[in-house]
Amino acid sequence: MRNMSQLAKDIFKYGRVKDCPVYDMHGHMGSHYGIHFPTKSAEKTVKSMQAANVQKLIFSHHGSLMMRDGNSLSLKEARKFPGLLKVYCTINPNFPEVTEKDLAAFDEARHVYVGIKLLAAYHKKPITDDGYKKAWEFANKRKLFALVHTWGDNNMNGPEQIDEVARKYPDCKIFMGHSCHGEWDKAVLLANKYKNVYLELTAVPDERGPMEKFIEKAGSKKILFGTDMPWFSYHNYIGAVLGAVRKEEDLRNIFYLNAKKLLGEIGQL
Amino acid sequence: MKIKFFDANAYIGTQMLGVYKSAATAAELLEKMDEVEIEKALVYHMAQFDYSPEEGNKMLVETMAGNKRLFGCWTLLPPQTEEVIADNFFTQMKKNRIFALNLFPVHHRFLLNGVVFGEFFKELIKRKIPLVLSMREGGATWEMLYSLLKEFPNLTCILTDLSIWGVDRYTFPLLEKYEKVYLESGVLSLHEGSFEMTVKKFGAKRLVFGTGFPEKYQEASMLHLLHSNISKTDKQKIAAGNMEKLLSEVKL
């Protein structure tokens, strides 16, 4: 492997490197209406994590995203491996009574919950909608994470909507899931404009080029590793990052240093 | 054991919309293959898809220039129009190191069935020439593929560019029914556990390694295969052995 750092060569050789853990900031679990997933359970997920030295996965269960009142599914799976698995509380604005209940019960699961997850393009209400307001205020007040599914050319969760919530909720750490896929330049602008906005890599490595742009224009300290697990496999995505990122320092920032810092800030390391 | 790689899915040239650091020539592709230690590749030219199969096929031959590490894949159009398939077609394939054929029926606007390709596909079966079917936009659809294999169950088909959304629900029935259907591993390796389950259910012989370069990172499918939860023997078969075997059986 020419032009690769020693760390990258070691990952290629061994598949996992002890002093370079991986923190996956964007995952899921369970079965799905449109895709067969052989890796559905927490047990199987953890086995896959161990093979690639993934030491933390923050996820939202497919059941929490695709049906009413499903956050208990995430909590149930995460509690099987509390050191390894953490949860985003899914906020579906179509069911405000569920959001109210989940936020009220948030502290009961505080050792597992790290923030909120928004999937506006599927739930058909923009992230700026009043239906999310309570959740945003809750996350902002407590300085929690907000993993937002973002996509380019989209008025539910595109760059313009991120711009608005980032300004409105400066204490909330906003992770742009998929980094406004396709509108890469705008994602970079947002990451540079706001201290609390981060580029998240899920679905980004599917094409060559954007990751190189992120490194060059935003810097590796604003990039978080994520896989949509089990949508995308660890070694495939780690390999893609190794193909795009040459410097060892940048690899370490992306794979774990940035995530550890953020988790430390909310007392969840 | 050092794994040797044969990439079953790479192209030369760039799309008309541009692709990040693509390989404009065969020499540039070989340089990129050297960088990541891929020994051989089955290649086509993006002009075959975007511009014109007729002209793109010629551009492929020109840039390959007989290089022994590269195995050419021409793009087909219906035989009746004589744009691509003409007299001495198979002799020309042999002369120009073309070992496989692909087609993009949606983008190139024709139907993929026996009315169009009947006698020609019978010849491909006889000569064991693999037909590469890209499932990318503009390639074949799953409905087309299912109908085609019903008509030509003995056709050797390599399915490439499988969707970002997992495709097991489409591919498993085909693998079960048609023993000459093969999957290219590039995008398949994206999905956690699907690759391993495919090997377990249908055997390593049904997969060929591919990268999808230049659109995808070669390192992604390489690292995945190297550390997948299958035996070393199976890894070597998928990495290069199966593809070498398929191409060695081609009669031109």
Q: Are B172 and B200 in contact (CB under 8 A)?
A: no
* Res A54: pLDDT: 98
Please report residues of B whose CB lies closer than 8 A to that of A230. 191-193
- Measured in angstroms, the CA of A214 and the nearest CA of chain B are apart by 14
- Mean pLDDT, chain A, as a whole number? 97
Q: Is residue A197 part of a domain?
A: yes
Q: Does B21 touch chain A (CB under 8 A)?
A: yes
Total domain count, chain B: 1
Cβ atoms within 10 Å of B161's Cβ, excluding its own: 20
pLDDT band at A42 (very low <50, low <70, confident <90, very high): very high
Closest by alpha carbon to A116, among B251, A133, B73?
A133
pLDDT higher than 80, residue B63: yes
* Res A3: pLDDT: 84
Q: Is residue B238 part of a domain?
A: yes
CB-closest option in B37, B194, B220 to A243: B220
Q: Does B137 touch chain A (CB under 8 A)?
A: no
Q: Which domain holds residue A58?
A: 22-29+38-265
Q: How many residues does chain A have?
A: 269
Q: Is residue B1 part of a domain?
A: no
Cα gap B158→B124, rounded to integer Å: 13
Read off the pLDDT of each residue in A119-143 and give the average, rounded to a whole number: 98
Tokens of A227: 């896989």
CB-closest option in A51, A231, A232 to B227: A51
DSSP state of A229: B
Q: Are A24 and A49 in contact (CB under 8 A)?
A: yes
**A232 contacts B191? CB cut-off 8 A:** yes
DSSP string covering chain B, please? -PPP-EEEEEEES--TT--TT--SSHHHHHHHHHHHT--EEEEEEHHHHHT-HHHHHHHHHHHHTT-TTEEEEEEP--GGG-SS--TTHHHHHHHTTEEEEEE-HHHHT---SHHHHHHHHHHHHHHT--EEEE-STTS--HHHHHHHHHH-TT--EEEES--SS--HHHHHHHHHH-TTEEEEHHHHTTSTTHHHHHHHHH-GGGEE----BTTS-HHHHHHHHHTSSS-HHHHHIIIIIHHHHHHHT---
CATH code: domain of residue B95: 3.20.20.140
CB-closest option in A12, A36, A207 to B166: A36
Total domain count, chain A: 1
Please report residues of B whose CB lies closer than 8 A to that of A234. 192
Q: Are B53 and B76 in contact (CB under 8 A)?
A: yes
**B223 contacts A235? CB cut-off 8 A:** yes
Q: Is residue A112 part of a domain?
A: yes
* Res B164: pLDDT: 87
Helix (H) or strand (E) holding A61: strand A54-61
* Res B190: pLDDT: 85
Interface test with B, best of A14, A59, A213, A236 (most B CBs within 10 A): A236
Q: Is residue A4 part of a domain?
A: no
pLDDT higher than 70, residue A52: yes
Q: Is residue B191 part of a domain?
A: yes
| Axis crossing angle, helix B168-177 with helix B194-202, rounded to the nearest 10 | 10
* Res B1: pLDDT: 67
Q: ipTM for the complex?
A: 0.96
Q: Which domain holds residue B244?
A: 6-248
* Res B189: pLDDT: 84
- Measured in angstroms, the CA of A130 and the nearest CA of chain B are apart by 32
**A39 contacts B223? CB cut-off 8 A:** no
- Measured in angstroms, the CA of A151 and the nearest CA of chain B are apart by 15
pLDDT digits (tens, 9 = 90+) for A88-106: 999 999 999 999 999 999 9
CATH code: domain of residue A189: 3.20.20.140
Please report residues of A whose CB lies closer than 8 A to that of B221. 236, 239
Q: Does A52 touch chain B (CB under 8 A)?
A: yes
Q: Is residue A7 part of a domain?
A: no
Please report residues of B whose CB lies closer than 8 A to that of A207. 20, 215-216
pLDDT higher than 80, residue A178: yes
Q: Is residue A185 part of a domain?
A: yes
CB-closest option in A37, A206, A238 to B164: A206
Please report residues of B whose CB lies closer than 8 A to that of A48. 192-193
* Res A246: pLDDT: 95
Q: Does B34 touch chain A (CB under 8 A)?
A: yes
DSSP state of A130: G
**A231: nearest CA partner in chain B:** B191
- Helix, strand, coil percentages (3-state) for chain A, rounded to 5, are 45, 20, 35
Q: What residues are paired with A41 via a beta bridge?
A: none
- Mean pLDDT, chain B, as a whole number? 97
